């Protein structure tokens, strides 16, 4: 049966998720502080109506915002959504957040008779639009059951990682540690190669077929070759996400020096004014420090 769903946050990932829900036949509302995105989604078939007016009809809410603070504001802020939801509705929270925060949100939702699924996502904007995400999910069986139709619409793979919130966000932190480090390392390797006469396009051609490759290398290095830093995932994501990783590591008395080094490169990129560019733009930090000219830049 079609669900009535709201996607909160129509950025690159949230917009694709909303499209996937719509394509699966669900009545889908899209909401964002950028009204242009809302109007664009409605022009593609998204349902109209103010959030306050439709909240009581929603079967599912997918929250695809930036961080824990925004997630909590959507759910329990001054215009918080959870008190307006009908009993048995499910919140699917997709932002990268600390596991303790996910557990707190689950408890607060349960107190209102609403299910909560700790459901961080991976796969990028293209897979989001294809309904082919990987979702690292944790929550009570009732939450999984309530979200089943939405998970079917948005995910290629759903990992059921636990019967309460927390493990999904823990696994996402592990993934983000690797993903952030891989992007920074790709940028370091590509620009190091340039100092030795290895052109960026040669780097991609060869290393993507060798043991030093990674999914992030194969996905992001072509952005550098093309000189196209249109953000699919922005530099600004990484100070937040790697910061969460390091906060969790600190609480576990765990040293994560490679993560810390990668974080500094993204902070440097943001400091250069590159925060809104694609995260492959971290290569510009290395290029500037080495006096290199990347593709698409003036010599």
Query: Cα–chain-centroid distance for residue 252?
Result: 24
Residue from 163, 129, 183 nearest 21 by CA: 129
Which three-class secondary structure string do you get for the chain? CCCEEEEECCCHHHHHHHHHHHHCCCEEEEECCCHHHHHHHHHCCCECCCHHHHHHHCCEEEECCCCHHHHHHHHHCCCCCHHHCCCCCEEEECCCCCHHHHHHHHHHHHHCCCEEEECCEECHHHHHHHCCEEEEEECCHHHHHHHHHHHHHHEEEEEECCCCCCHHHHHHHHHHHHHHHHHHHHHHHHHHHHHCCCCHHHHHHHHCCCCCCCHHHHHHHHHHHHCCCCCCCECCHHHHHHHHHHHHHHHCCCCCHHHHHHHHHHHHHHHHHHCCCEHHHHHHHHHHHHCCCCCCCCC
250 catalytic? Reply is no
Bridging pattern class, strands 90-93 and 60-63: parallel
CA distance 197 to 255: 36
**Largest Cα–Cα distance of the chain, in whole Å?**
63
Q: Which of 86, 108, 172, 209 is labelled catalytic?
A: 172
The catalytic residues are 172
């Amino acid at each position: 049966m079609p669900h009535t769903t709201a996607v909160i946050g129509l950025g690159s990932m949230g917009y694709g998720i909303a499209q996937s829900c719509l394509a699966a036949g669900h009545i889908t509302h899209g909401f964002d502080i950028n009204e242009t995105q809302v109007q664009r989604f409605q022009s593609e078939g998204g349902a109209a109506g103010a959030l306050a007016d439709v909240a009581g009809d929603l079967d599912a809410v997918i929250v695809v915002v930036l961080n824990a603070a925004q997630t909590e504001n959507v759910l329990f802020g001054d215009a918080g959504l959870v008190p307006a939801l009908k009993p048995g509705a499910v919140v699917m929270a997709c932002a990268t957040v600390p596991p303790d925060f996910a557990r707190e949100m689950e408890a607060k939702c349960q107190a209102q008779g609403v299910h909560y699924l700790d459901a961080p996502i991976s796969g990028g904007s293209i897979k989001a639009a294809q309904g082919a995400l990987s979702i690292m999910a944790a929550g009570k069986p009732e939450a999984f059951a309530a979200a089943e139709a939405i998970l079917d619409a948005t995910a290629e793979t759903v990992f059921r990682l636990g019967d309460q919130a927390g493990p999904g966000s823990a696994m996402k932190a592990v993934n983000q540690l690797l993903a952030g480090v891989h992007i920074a390392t790709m940028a370091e390797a590509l620009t190091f190669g340039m100092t030795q006469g290895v052109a960026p396009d040669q780097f991609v051609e060869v290393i993507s077929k060798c043991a030093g490759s990674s999914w992030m290398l194969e996905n992001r290095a072509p952005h550098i070759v093309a000189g196209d830093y249109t953000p699919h995932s922005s530099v600004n994501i990484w100070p937040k996400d790697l910061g969460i990783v390091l906060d969790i590591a600190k609480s576990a008395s765990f040293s994560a020096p490679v993560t810390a080094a990668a974080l500094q490169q993204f902070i440097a990129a943001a400091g250069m004014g590159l925060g809104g560019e694609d995260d492959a733009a971290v290569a510009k930090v290395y290029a500037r420090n080495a006096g290199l000219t990347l593709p698409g830049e003036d010599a």
